[in-house]
Amino acid sequence: MPSRLKTTALAALFSATTLTAALADGPIRIAVNEWTGQHLSAHIAGTMLEKMGMEVEYVTAGAVPQIAALSDGSLHFNPEIWTNNSGDIFPKAVESGDIEVVGSLGLSPQEGWYYPPYMAEKCPGLPSYEALYDCAQAFAAADTFPDGRLITYPADWGTRSKVLVERIGVPFQPVAGGSEGAMVAELKSAIAAEQPMLMMFWEPHWIHADIDLDIVEWDRSSADCDADESQKRGDACGFSQANILKVVSSDFADEYPEAYAFIQNYTLDNTIQNALIQKVDQDGMEVEEAVAEWIADNEAVWSMWME
């Protein structure tokens, strides 16, 4: 009996080692997250790597779990990691050297309070945040009346909107959005019925290809605005803006030096991504198709990444 156990254990160990060995020489495993923009960034990079003669595999992965996967080498590369939705696990993994940040992708994200254009008619002072003080009631719902209703990020994404509401004393009640799906559902439903709406949101996001949204403007902008406790009415900067980073697993540079060199050069900007998002989410094109078309038309752009 013990000898049989040993054999099983050995077999298990063996399989584990062969598997890791197979991974090292196998395809480059690129993370695919739940949103279209990231699909595009991943597929553009993947297609280029294939052009360079490398084998690529796309693996679906959640925003937080993928950090664990990148740390243990089951995933190799994600071109578009948002520092604001990867949790505390991301900075920890960077610090411990389990994953490597290769630089920023080049997308410039914007976060803030968004509203549909019809709200500007009900609250003429918009887009300045000063207008919100006077027409909070135009944004009110039954459960927040007479304060306005502000949908914030889900609680697990942090409480930045709530903090800002308290700092600048705007008469709004922050309501945690629960999840991205809930927030989008709320947006769609409110806009369909032209109902009051003010929501913490971000771009680039595919929804901007679908509906018009305007963003509330502040007095000034500041890189570490979130930490700025001196913010008050008349001197508000809103929010710090997130970073979008290219991330690889720790051994990646040694194992795939060519691919690593490419990733260092790889950049995208909002215009490119938004146009492609529009094609996929609005015109119903497949991601692969849209990427192939873009690559065919933009040799000038991608040839710079190959140097």
The candidate with the shortest Cα–Cα distance to 66, out of 44, 82, 43, 48, is 82
Q: How far is the CB of 88 from another protein (least distance, A)?
A: 4
H-helix or E-strand spanning residue 212: none
Nearer to another protein, 62 or 257 (CB): 62
Contacting another protein within 121-140 (CB under 8 A): none
Q: How far is the CB of 7 from another protein (least distance, A)?
A: 13
The candidate with the shortest Cα–Cα distance to 271, out of 108, 59, 36, 77, is 108
Query: Binding marks (x or -) toward another protein, 56..75, rule CB under 8 A?
Result: ---xxxx-xxxxxx--x-xx
From 1, 5, 192, 300, residue interacting with another protein (rule: CB under 8 A): 192
The whole-angstrom separation of Cα 121 and Cα 297 is 41
Number of residues that bind another protein (CB under 8 A): 57
307 binds another protein (CB under 8 A): no
Written as six digits, the tokens of 294 are: 């873009």
181 binds another protein (CB under 8 A): yes
Nearer to another protein, 49 or 69 (CB): 69
- 23-61 burial, b for 16+ CB within 10 Å, e for fewer? eeeebbbbbbbebbbbbbbbbbbbbbbeeeeeebebeeb
The whole-angstrom separation of Cα 218 and Cα 237 is 5
From 193, 227, 296, 300, residue interacting with another protein (rule: CB under 8 A): 193
Residues of this chain that interact with another protein (CB under 8 A) are: 9, 11-13, 15-16, 19, 31-32, 34-35, 59-62, 64-69, 72, 74-75, 85, 87-89, 92, 141-143, 145, 151, 154-157, 175-189, 192-193, 195, 206
